[in-house]
Chain A
Amino acid sequence: MRKRKTKADDPMARAVMLICSSVCVLGIALIFIFIIRESLPAFRELGLANLFGSQWSPNVSEPVAGKYGMLAFINGTVLTTLGGLLLGAPLGICTAIFLDQVAPRWAAKVIHRGIELLAGIPSVVIGWFGLTLLVPFLAKVSGTGGDGILAASIVLGIMTLPTITFLSLEALRSLPREYREASLALGATRWQTIRRVLVPAARRGILVSVILGMGRAIGETMAVQMVIGNARQAAWGPFQRTSTLPSRIITDMGESSGLFRSALFAQGLVLLVLAMLLILAIRLVNREKESAR
């Protein structure tokens, strides 16, 4: 082997590695710069009132052209995300408690593997499942088209389940054994221990798992686009068709140009800002955890 003199800290190697690390910084900066740059014309020429209005009719051929309001899609994003979390969070948290405290080893292993499997299913495949099985089923039950907010919520519930389960499980597992043992030794039942000791102690980790699940639900594109119906109106009912921000972007981007396209980038910017807010929320929760100790 070639002999070479090595200075103990290898400044050359250090510099190269630092450059590699800066790619992350550069990447996020470029994403911000280019998304803002593309959405600037929409903000400048349409104004906030139009962009955050409730009507979306961007095509010139339409009776009321030049309306680029994204409020209906923000509404759709919020409703489907809440719906998804309403299904995914309780089920995920309870599954985590079950895996950690109640399940015998074989059952825990089977369910753990199963959820890992679920986490790996590509979102187009989940979307296709939703479109060909869930939507027809809901159509039969409700006597409507079947697609819409409820279908999207169920799909998002399935997709947030692995995130919430695994991160809640991690939070529960990182608790000191003594918490449980002390509670049981004092004569508490298993359920009292779970409800009064373990869940309160792990609540910050559980909260973070739900926030991350929320991030996944807000940004999910393909699966939602396939089952939500892609209507342009705001909707409130479970069987009404509407759109979310990502599903609108993916539906309209292909045929857009000029201000139309810029307005879609403005929707992307809203998603970007939402994602950053969630990151800050997680930092806040974790900081409180540190100061609480």
Chain B
Amino acid sequence: MNPKTADRLASAVLWMLGGITLAALIFVVAQILIRGLATALNPSFFLGRPRAFQEGGGVLPMLVSSIYLAVWTLVIALPVSLGAAIYLAEFARTGSKAAAAVRFCADSLASLPSIVFGLFGMTFFVIYLRWGTCLLAGACTLALLNLPVLMRSAEESMRAVPATYREASLGLGAGRWRTVRQVVIPSAMPGILAGTVLTVGRILGESASLIFVMMLVTRKTPSFNPLSNAAPLASNIWYTQTEAIIPDYRRVVDGGAALLLLLVLAVNLAARSLGKAYSRRKGVKTANA
């Protein structure tokens, strides 16, 4: 074939494949929203109580559990991941064996299937530590699951801070810790925040690792006790469609799926605009300084 014809043909095929990819994902998102949006945005659904054997139930307790679970997970995972990131980005010497070991373990942790975290959470937190199935066990499991991602995004944001900032601070007589606290972390904040918000999205959507760690009892009312059982929205969608004991379970799952999708999309959008807004503000600041 003539190279020019081949080039045109290849371009056409690549355009087509790009189009297929886009069409497929628009189709998936649109289908989920079309079928569930009306239910999801109905206050009697997202502010309503679940019903067991009758129609018209809502998902308020699950929604609250999801958000509460995200809060606890971050409370546990953020300090640890920040500390680890500070070590890797600021304290570890180049070629440090300890840092290499931490990186390898973080990579391994990041590649494990979430069901493995679920098995671990069940044997360790629920059975071995005798916590029983509870929200806190779920939060600890998810903290471990999300640790590598949080750590990596924080480390990358800190590495992106120009070395001159640190040199100036150290040159003025500040110690390493003070430099980290007052110079590096404030400058790396947008990246750290964006990474954190993205993690919230992952927590809201996570279900496989939670099924055995939190008993999926459908609460009628929200609970704020971390040692009580709870069914977050994502796990509850799976549970509802598996058990199918609610007569209008299709409506509940359709609505729940659309609601979850909207939540995750909103969170991801927030992460993006947060990163952008901060970098814009920082740009102005450095220009004035």
Q: Which A residues have a C-beta under 8 Å from some C-beta of B?
A: 6-10, 12-14, 16-25, 27-28, 30-31, 34-35, 37-38, 91, 94-95, 97-99, 101-103, 107, 110-111, 114-118, 120-129, 131-133, 158, 161, 165, 188-192, 194-195, 212, 215, 218-222, 226, 246, 249-250, 253-254, 264-265, 268, 271-272, 275-276, 278-279
Known: A121-B261, A189-B7. A27 touches B28 (CB 8 A): no
Measured CB to CB, the nearest residue on chain B to A30 is B124
- Contact of B31 with A18 in the complex, beta carbons under 8 Å: no
List chain A residues, Cβ under 8 A from B204.
122
Tell me if B53 is interfacial: C-beta within 8 Å of chain A: no
List chain A residues, Cβ under 8 A from B123.
34-35, 37-38, 265
- Contact of B175 with A24 in the complex, beta carbons under 8 Å: no
Measured CB to CB, the nearest residue on chain A to B253 is A128
- The number of residues on chain B lying at the interface, defined by a beta carbon within 8 Å of a beta carbon of chain A, is 91
Measured CB to CB, the nearest residue on chain B to A111 is B22
Known: A6-B173, A34-B123, A221-B113. 4 other contacts (CB 8 A): A188-B3, A212-B111, A215-B111, A249-B115
Partner of A17, one of B87, B118, B124: B87
Q: How far is the CA of A215 from the CA of B26 in the complex (A)?
A: 25
Least CB distance from A206 to B in Å reads: 15
**Binary contact track B191-223/A, C-beta < 8 Å → 1, others 0:** 000000000010011111001100000000000
Measured CB to CB, the nearest residue on chain A to B101 is A25
Most buried by A among B25, B107, B109, B128: B25
Q: Which B residues have a C-beta under 8 Å from some C-beta of A?
A: 3-4, 6-7, 9-11, 13-15, 17-18, 20-22, 24-26, 28-29, 31-32, 35, 79-84, 86-88, 90-91, 98-99, 101-102, 105-109, 111-120, 122-124, 128, 144, 147-148, 151, 170, 173-178, 180, 201, 204-208, 211-212, 234-235, 237-238, 241, 250, 253-254, 257, 260-261, 264-265, 268
Partner of B113, one of A91, A94, A102, A219: A219
**Would you call the interface of chain B mostly helix, strand, loop, or mixed?**
helix
22 A-B interface contacts by CB (under 8 A): A6-B175, A10-B178, A16-B83, A21-B98, A24-B84, A24-B147, A24-B148, A27-B105, A30-B124, A31-B144, A95-B18, A118-B28, A118-B29, A121-B32, A122-B204, A122-B206, A124-B234, A124-B238, A195-B10, A222-B238, A250-B115, A250-B211
Known: A120-B265, A122-B207, A128-B257. A275 touches B84 (CB 8 A): no
Q: How far is the CA of A111 from the CA of B151 in the complex (A)?
A: 28
